[in-house]
Amino acid sequence: MKNFRLDDESGHQEALFSWAGYNMERMPELEYMHHVPNGGKRDRATAVALKRQGVKAGVPDIVLPAARAGYHGLYIELKAGKNTTTENQRRWLEYLRQQGYYTAVCYGWQKAAELIERYLLHTEELTQEQKTITLR
């Protein structure tokens, strides 16, 4: 795997998707995992255009549309360093959890990779009384 700058969330996302590329043979569902580009710094005109196109603040960063253990799919809010979730992100995660998705906040790409592997390959470890979990 290539070296990534792990001082921000974008570097952790790059590392996670690189890990996914290496693990698709073992977990073919990873082909469908994707990033929702709702965050990031943009100029005002671009931000306004994206909002008109349906971009919504707070939507989790990573989506894995693979059903497991009674869940419709997996949503991950990926964090790096001391970043914490916003109220809007917590609201989205709770809504998605109530709709039958497995939701998590993962600090670092390694924790996200561990969760994805557990979600896809070790479903017996998933709890049906799930709250949005935080992995550090």
- What long-range pairs does 72-75 form, CB within 8 A, spacing at least 24? 72/99, 72/100, 72/101, 73/101, 73/102, 74/101, 74/102, 74/103, 74/104, 74/115, 74/116, 74/119, 75/101, 75/102, 75/103, 75/104
Task: Identify the pLDDT of residue 131.
Answer: 67
Task: Identify the pLDDT of residue 50.
Answer: 79
Task: Identify the pLDDT of residue 31.
Answer: 98
Q: The domain 9-135 is classified under which CATH number: 3.40.50.150, 2.60.120.10, 1.20.58.1610, 3.40.1350.10?
A: 3.40.1350.10
pTM for this predicted structure: 0.88
Query: For the chain, which residues make up each domain, given as ranges?
Result: 9-135
pLDDT in tens, the chain (136 residues): 566 677 778 889 999 999 999 999 999 999 999 998 876 667 888 778 878 888 888 999 999 999 999 999 999 999 998 889 999 999 999 999 999 999 999 999 999 999 999 999 998 877 655 667 777 7
